[in-house]
């Protein structure tokens, strides 16, 4: 049977590098550690460690009778582990890893299902948390970004300011009434109380009609595709 020690060492090194990498999300590292512990817990034998802990506690309490009993258990556990280790050597020497997995195919499938479920749940949580952080960051950036104000000047030198508003503030056209009127628009209110310009659209130099919104008007003046004779500059 092929010696897999080198492969195991390489895999261990790769896992440790992945855990140490700053480029990997903390949630991903935690999930990897949880899965590693879940799999390796099946092959760990903690009997000696548990007895050693009990011996330390008994020694602190000065319980000689319990210590004598625990040392006897320790000797038996060591003997048991040696016998089991010899059995493991026999199993490894006579069978390939693939053969062992096939012999325990049902148990291995249960383990695979359990791990796959943990990966799905862990990944789902990590993705949701990442999405929440991204949305929060984007919202913070939007809140912190100041609205840009431009000064528009016509051919006669008359000026008006316009602020690039968005959301509810953008629907309030009266705030930039002088700007719209300078460009030839009137602000009217419909039956529902919603403001709109009259005319509602303007025509570009290529003949295309565009809705008379602040951003579209500013873009047209900047690109000189409409409103001939007007200039614009940040305030």
User: For residue 83, what pLDDT is reported?
Assistant: 74
Q: How far apart are CA 112 and CA 115, in angstroms?
A: 5
Q: Long-range contact list for 52-59, CB < 8 A, 24+ apart?
A: none
User: For residue 2, what pLDDT is reported?
Assistant: 47
User: For residue 77, what pLDDT is reported?
Assistant: 77
User: For residue 225, what pLDDT is reported?
Assistant: 94
User: For residue 224, what pLDDT is reported?
Assistant: 93
User: For residue 1, what pLDDT is reported?
Assistant: 44
End-to-end CA distance of the chain: 78
User: For residue 49, what pLDDT is reported?
Assistant: 74
Q: Which residues contact 189 (CB under 8 A, 6 or more apart)?
A: 195, 196
User: For residue 97, what pLDDT is reported?
Assistant: 73
User: For residue 144, what pLDDT is reported?
Assistant: 56
pTM to 2 decimal places: 0.41
User: Rounded to the nearest 5°, which phi and psi values hold at 136?
Assistant: -65, -40
Inter-CA distances, 20 with 35, 38, 40, 176, Å: 17, 20, 20, 55
10-residue stretch averages of pLDDT, the chain, 235 residues long = 56 80 78 78 68 85 87 82 73 78 80 80 77 65 72 94 81 91 93 90 92 93 94 92
Q: How many residues would you count in the chain?
A: 235
């Amino acid at each position: 049977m092929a010696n897999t020690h080198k492969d195991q060492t390489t895999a261990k090194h790769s896992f440790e590098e992945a855990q140490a990498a700053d480029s990997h999300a903390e949630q991903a590292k935690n999930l990897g550690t949880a899965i590693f512990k879940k799999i390796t817990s099946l092959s760990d034998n903690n009997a000696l460690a548990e007895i050693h802990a009990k011996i330390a506690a008994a020694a602190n309490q000065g319980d000689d009778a319990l210590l004598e009993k625990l040392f006897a258990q320790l000797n038996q556990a060591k003997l048991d582990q040696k016998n089991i280790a010899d059995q493991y050597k026999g199993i490894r020497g006579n069978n390939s890893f693939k053969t062992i997995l096939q012999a325990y195919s049902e148990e291995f499938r249960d383990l695979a299902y359990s791990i796959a479920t943990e990966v799905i749940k862990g990944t789902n949580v990590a993705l949701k948390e990442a999405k929440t952080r991204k949305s929060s960051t984007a919202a913070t950036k939007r809140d912190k970004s100041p609205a840009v104000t431009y000064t528009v000047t016509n051919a006669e030198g008359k000026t008006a300011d316009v602020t690039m508003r968005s959301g509810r503030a953008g629907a309030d056209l009266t705030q930039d009434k002088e700007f719209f009127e300078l460009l030839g628009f009137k602000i009217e209110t419909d039956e529902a109380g919603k403001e709109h310009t009259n005319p509602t659209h303007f025509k570009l130099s290529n003949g295309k009609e565009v809705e008379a919104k602040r951003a579209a008007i500013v873009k047209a003046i900047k690109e000189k595709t409409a409103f001939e004779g007007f200039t614009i500059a940040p305030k």
